[in-house]
Every structure is written in structure tokens, then in C-alpha cells.
């Protein structure tokens, strides 16, 4: 039996690593890929999510090979974009940006696009862009102020993290919850399995340990 390929996660995000761990996957390497995330003129949210995921994957692959490892590894990258209509919301870095995002999202529907790219050692590229539709409750001034004070919004697309306090703002979600967190697990599992990565290996080991 051929040995399984190594996996590089092109991210330093604790939440993306935790999502992979949730389905029994532990990447051999974490290679953060810092890229310019500025949308191109007229670029739509879906296209931006896919383009940035691909750029992150290529950047991490290059960094790994320059550092002398990962030549035979799969490289997995993702990027999440929050949008209201065609308007792309920023990754909030200041309280003012986060406040603007919350006011725009309050009581309205929006969409989250998460692009996923998997690069293979042979040079093949597999991609998915997952769309999730959400609606926020109408937020009171007190709720907004309290959320801003929590600082949970910092460096989050759209100024919120659904896996945290802001989960209480969501009244409706249609699509991939894990995609909104940062990594759509169904699509990631399909991509990895399609390239021969044994995504179920640890599931089988876990069942033997628990006696299931």
C-alpha cells in the first residue's frame, strides 16, 4: 500500500486547523500564506473567494519548496468572503470597520463565499467555491456596542465570527456552517478523497479504540 501524501495547510488560522482536526485530519505542515486580498476592479465576491484561495495555495506551495519540504505534498488553502449583494465587506481591523459591518448586516440577508483550492504534487488544481446564505436579527444599539467591546470581530470577514458570540445573531442559515467558520468540510473531504488522501483512516482507528 502506498504511503499517504503529506498535507500542507496554507493557513495559520486556528479555526481552520480545528475544523480539519474535527474530521480526523492533522496536516503535517502549516504554512501561512499572506497575500494581497484587495478585490480587483469590478470583481464579484464569488470570484474573489476562489482567486484568493488559489493564490494562497500557490504561495504556500512555493514557500514550502523554497524551504526544502513539501515537494510531494498536497496543499490546501481557503478564503472566506462576506458580501451583501455585490458589496464585499472587509476583514475588520478597526472598531469603525466592524461597526459599519454590523450596521449593514443588522436585520438583513447576506452571503458568505468560501473558496477552497487543493494543489497536487503533479501540478493539478482542484477548486470549489461554497455559498452560504444567512440572515441576521435586527441588532439593538446595546447588542452592537457589547459585541464591539468583545473584540471578537477583529480580523474576521464581515466583522463577525459565527462560531462565537455572533452565532446568537443568526436567525437563518442555508448552506455550510463550517464554510462560514472558514473551511467547508464536505467539499474538503471530497477534494482530498479524490486525490487519494485517506480521509477515513482516523475514523476507523477511533472506532476500534472506542469499541464502536
Q: At a CB cut-off of 8 Å and minimum separation 6, what does 50 contact?
A: 115, 117, 127, 129
- Say which of 36, 79, 100, 155 is annotated catalytic: 79
Residue 147's alpha-carbon distances to 104, 141, 168, 201, in angstroms, are 15, 10, 11, 40
- Report the interhelical angle of 185-194 vs 14-22 (nearest 10°): 70
CA 86 to CA 83: how far, in whole Å? 6
Q: At a CB cut-off of 8 Å and minimum separation 6, what does 71 contact?
A: 65, 121
79 is catalytic: yes
- Catalytic positions: 79
Amino acid at each position: 500500500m502506498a504511503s499517504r501524501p503529506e498535507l500542507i495547510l496554507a493557513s495559520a488560522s486556528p479555526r481552520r486547523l480545528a475544523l480539519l482536526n474535527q474530521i480526523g485530519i492533522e496536516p503535517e505542515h502549516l504554512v501561512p500564506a499572506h497575500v494581497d486580498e484587495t478585490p480587483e476592479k469590478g470583481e464579484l465576491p464569488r470570484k474573489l473567494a476562489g482567486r484568493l484561495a488559489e493564490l494562497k495555495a500557490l504561495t504556500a506551495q512555493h514557500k514550502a519548496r523554497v524551504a526544502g519540504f513539501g515537494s510531494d505534498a498536497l496543499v490546501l488553502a481557503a478564503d472566506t468572503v462576506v458580501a451583501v449583494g455585490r458589496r464585499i465587506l472587509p476583514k475588520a481591523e478597526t472598531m469603525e470597520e466592524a461597526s459599519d459591518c454590523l450596521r449593514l448586516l443588522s436585520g438583513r440577508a447576506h452571503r458568505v463565499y468560501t473558496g477552497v483550492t487543493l494543489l497536487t504534487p503533479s501540478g493539478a488544481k482542484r477548486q470549489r467555491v461554497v455559498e452560504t446564505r444567512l440572515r441576521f436579527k435586527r441588532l439593538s444599539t446595546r447588542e452592537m456596542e457589547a459585541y464591539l467591546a468583545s473584540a471578537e470581530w477583529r480580523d474576521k470577514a464581515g466583522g463577525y465570527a459565527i462560531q462565537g458570540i455572533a452565532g446568537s445573531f443568526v436567525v437563518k442559515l442555508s448552506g455550510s456552517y463550517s464554510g462560514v467558520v472558514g473551511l467547508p468540510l464536505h467539499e474538503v473531504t471530497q477534494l482530498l478523497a479524490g486525490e487519494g488522501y485517506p480521509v477515513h483512516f482516523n475514523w476507523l482507528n477511533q472506532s476500534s479504540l472506542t469499541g464502536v
